[in-house]
């Protein structure tokens, strides 16, 4: 059956796109269940028991819409961050918020600067709204701040995207360098500073909130999906000026947040003791992944995230073969970066001991079979 004839020219020009192939799709394709789900940068450690209890209680009221103004969550976040509620916008995860940011700032045909191989969902939104991607390569497996700035100035771009810490490499820049980058941008260029992995980063990675809070050309995005273990709940937020935060009200889905997810986020924010235990487990798991890689003759790159990029020492074909064989032969789900030279690496999420044990058993077998 053919598509509707009056889709917009932009919609008709876009390819069908799935930014990420999920483990469920792999299970369907291969007819095999995932035994170790360590490829999507979720938190296998899960949310706190207090969070699950709050969500169970909230489920009884699921017949009600969520507060469309998200007042309770804004107030809790404001108290935690040391800002006002007016500085915050709430959305269905960073992914939804990125789409709204692009819609607010980018007209069809306008250039948007990002790194070649950086977060694919951002690119998906840019092309979906008619923007023109301008990419610069990574340098030494880190986003190249100088090259990003040069591209912004050359293109007169209204938007530039920087993830710190970075996905997919796990690398990071210190807070002072990121703040200097923001200061150097033209006032007409909005910086999307994606801090999805901020909780897992070393101290001194995230600029202080008051350092950038009054800059109208900076929006910082954060999430409950990673360290808080609520990826399936889809709760993200933007930190920016009050006028910027209010702009989201012009285009957002006002009933997009659900009551159960909001209750979970509120409980997660309140249970900082559990968050600290998770951060300790993530750190230990990163070290475990590094030891597993080293025992196999591979090199684990330094990481400030809840995953580790591992240099396979060869090319994309070899890395892809490792990813495919781990899943097909052992049910171990991992991923890899999509663009050279980053795609010489595989990427493994931190997780509980059972998943790490499966990885430790399977990876040497796969490498031996591919030798």
- Dump pLDDT digits (tens) for 264-310: 999 999 999 999 999 999 999 999 999 999 999 999 999 999 999 99
| Residues 148-171 pLDDT 10s | 999 999 999 999 999 999 999 999
Please tell me the distance from the alpha carbon of residue 363 to that of residue 295, in angstroms, as a whole number: 10
Q: pLDDT of 6-21, one tens digit each?
A: 999 999 999 887 778 8
Residue 141 sits at φ, ψ, to 5 deg, of 65, 20
CATH architecture of the domain covering 20-46+273-370: Alpha-Beta Complex (3.90)
Residue 2's pLDDT is what? 79
Instruction: Name the class of domain 49-270.
Output: alpha beta
Domain regions of the chain by residue span: 20-46+273-370, 49-270
Q: What's the DSSP call for residue 139?
A: B
Q: What are phi and psi of 289, to 5 degrees?
A: -60, -40
Q: Give per-residue burial for 230-249: e unless 16+ CB within 10 Å, then b.
A: bbebbbbbbbbbbebbebbe
Pairing label, strands 190-194, 299-300: unpaired
- Count of residues in the chain: 371
Q: Is 49-270 the same fold as 20-46+273-370?
A: no
pTM of the entire predicted model = 0.96
Q: What distances in angstroms separate CA 147 from CA 51, 97, 144, 188, 207, one per listed residue? A: 42, 25, 5, 18, 21
- pLDDT of 1 reads 62
Counting Cα atoms < 13 Å in the Cβ hemisphere of 114 gives: 26
pLDDT at 16: 86
Residue 39 pLDDT more than 70?
A: yes
Half-sphere exposure of 213 (CA within 13 A, CB side): 14
Residues 247-264: pLDDT tens digits? Answer: 999 999 999 999 999 999
| Mean per-residue pLDDT of the chain | 97
């Amino acid at each position: 059956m053919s598509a509707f004839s009056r889709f917009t020219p932009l919609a008709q020009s876009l390819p069908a796109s799935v930014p990420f192939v999920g483990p469920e799709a792999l299970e369907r394709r291969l007819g095999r269940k995932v035994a170790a789900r360590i490829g999507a940068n979720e938190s296998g450690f899960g949310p706190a028991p207090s969070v699950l209890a709050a969500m169970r209680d909230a489920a009884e009221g699921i017949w009600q819409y969520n507060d469309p103004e998200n007042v309770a969550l804004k107030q809790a976040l404001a108290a935690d961050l040391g800002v006002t509620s007016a500085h915050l916008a709430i959305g269905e995860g960073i992914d939804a918020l990125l789409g709204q940011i692009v819609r607010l700032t980018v007209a069809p045909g306008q250039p948007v600067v990002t790194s070649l191989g950086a977060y694919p969902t951002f690119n998906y939104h840019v092309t979906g709204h008619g923007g023109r991607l301008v990419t610069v390569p990574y340098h030494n497996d880190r986003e190249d701040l100088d090259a990003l700035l040069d591209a912004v100035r050359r293109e007169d771009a209204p938007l530039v995207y920087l993830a710190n810490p970075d996905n997919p490499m796990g690398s990071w820049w210190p807070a002072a360098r990121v703040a200097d980058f923001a200061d150097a941008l033209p006032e007409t260029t909005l910086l999307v500073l994606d801090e999805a992995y901020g909780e897992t980063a070393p101290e001194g990675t995230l600029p202080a909130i008051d350092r950038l809070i009054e800059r109208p050309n900076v929006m910082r995005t954060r999430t409950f999906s990673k360290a808080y273990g609520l990826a399936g709940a889809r709760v993200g937020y933007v930190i920016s000026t009050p006028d910027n935060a209010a702009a989201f009200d012009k285009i957002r889905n006002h009933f997009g947040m659900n009551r159960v997810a909001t209750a979970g986020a509120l409980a997660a924010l309140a249970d900082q003791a559990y968050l600290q235990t998770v951060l300790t487990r993530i750190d230990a798991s990163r070290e475990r992944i590094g030891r597993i890689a080293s025992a196999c003759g591979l090199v684990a790159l330094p990481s400030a995230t809840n995953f580790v990029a591992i240099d396979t020492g060869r090319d994309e074909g070899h890395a892809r073969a490792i990813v495919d064989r781990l899943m097909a032969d052992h049910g171990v789900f991992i991923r890899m970066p999509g663009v050279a030279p980053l795609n010489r690496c595989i990427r493994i999420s931190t997780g509980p001991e059972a998943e790490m044990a499966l990885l430790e058993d399977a990876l040497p077998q796969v490498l031996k079979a591919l030798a």
